[in-house]
């Protein structure tokens, strides 16, 4: 019992000293400085810079159709491109009697958009430039598009490339093009040999009917000895791999 009383009645020196010491003065409150807001927010990880800068694919197609011929809009086979910036990047093609629209990469998260004509006046090119500017959500991007030369030009802003390609360029295939793309995302969007075997097929035979417009040259290199191929119109990209739709 004595031992228990001695142990229980002896105060803890360190605890006693802590209780007797006055509490330290509170530190003065720090004023927080808000983080600077960026005019160009970063896209989600793994997504192209076009996210949040271009309107979505459905609205791009609708805007193109409204401005360039909604009545005769049609999706046409997209030829496999084997040269230039869009080499082996799957894409969807929509045509009207006045122009062509190409959407590159994953249709849900496109890495680039291109609009062009194979024969047109300067006024038509100006109209296409205005149309492309209307697909952008940021005023600074729209201003940059309006500043592009209609002859040939290439500008960059915050990860996006804005380009005008003349008919004389090797990669233009005889057309005049205005394009907006994320170059890094375009590289990531290239299809592998295995993917090409899955989503590219032989081009359908040409009809014997006389064309109402000048025939488009094939979008392949001059020295290509492979058969013409086109992308299937309903490919998709799942977890980074291009696939056919389920049967």
The answer to whether residue 32 is domain-embedded is no
Total domains in the fold of the chain: 1
Q: Does the pLDDT at position 212 exceed 80?
A: no
Label residue 116 exposed, middle or buried (CB < 10 Å: 0-12, 13-18, 19+).
buried
Q: Does the pLDDT at position 21 exceed 60?
A: no
The answer to whether residue 169 is domain-embedded is yes
| Torsion 233-236-240-246 (CA) sign | negative
Q: What is the pTM of this model?
A: 0.77
- Residue 171's pLDDT band, with cuts at 50, 70 and 90, is confident
CA 225 to chain CA centroid, nearest Å? 31
CA 72 to chain CA centroid, nearest Å? 26
- Residue 119's pLDDT band, with cuts at 50, 70 and 90, is confident
The answer to whether residue 221 is domain-embedded is yes
The answer to whether residue 5 is domain-embedded is no
Average pLDDT over residues 110-114: 97
3-state secondary structure of 157: strand
Q: Does the pLDDT at position 144 exceed 90?
A: yes
Q: Which of 120-134, 144-158, 162-176, 218-232 has the lowest mean pLDDT?
A: 218-232
Structural domain for 82, as ranges? 57-205+215-243
The answer to whether residue 19 is domain-embedded is no
What gap in Å lies between CA 32 and CA 203, rounded to an integer? 62
- Residue 18's pLDDT band, with cuts at 50, 70 and 90, is very low
Strands (E), the chain: 74-76, 78-79, 91-95, 100-106, 109-117, 153-157, 160-165, 176-181, 200-202, 229-231, 236-238, 241-243
The answer to whether residue 41 is domain-embedded is no
The answer to whether residue 42 is domain-embedded is no
The answer to whether residue 15 is domain-embedded is no
DSSP class of residue 170 equals: G
């Amino acid at each position: 019992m004595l031992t228990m009383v001695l142990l229980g009645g002896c105060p803890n020196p360190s605890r006693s000293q802590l209780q007797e010491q006055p509490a330290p003065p509170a530190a003065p409150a720090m004023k927080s400085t808000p983080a600077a807001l960026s005019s160009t927010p970063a896209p989600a990880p793994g997504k192209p810079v076009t996210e949040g800068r271009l309107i979505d694919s459905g609205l791009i197609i609708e805007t193109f159709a409204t401005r360039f011929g909604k009545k005769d809009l049609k999706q046409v086979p997209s030829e496999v491109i084997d040269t230039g910036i869009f080499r082996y990047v799957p894409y969807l093609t929509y045509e009207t009697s006045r122009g062509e629209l190409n959407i590159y990469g994953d249709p849900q998260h496109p890495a680039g958009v291109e609009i062009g004509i194979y024969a047109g006046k300067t006024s038509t090119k100006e109209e296409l430039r205005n149309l492309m500017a209307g697909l952008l959500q940021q005023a600074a991007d729209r201003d940059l598009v309006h500043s592009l030369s209609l002859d040939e030009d290439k500008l960059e802003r915050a990860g996006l490339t804005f380009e005008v390609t003349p008919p004389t360029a090797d990669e233009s295939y005889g057309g005049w093009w205005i394009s907006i793309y994320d170059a890094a995302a375009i590289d990531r969007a290239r299809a592998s040999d295995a993917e090409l075997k899955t989503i590219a097929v032989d081009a359908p035979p040409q009809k014997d009917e006389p064309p109402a417009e000048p025939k488009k040259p094939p979008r392949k290199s001059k020295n290509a000895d492979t058969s013409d191929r086109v992308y299937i119109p309903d490919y998709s990209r799942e977890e980074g791999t291009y696939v056919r739709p389920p049967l």
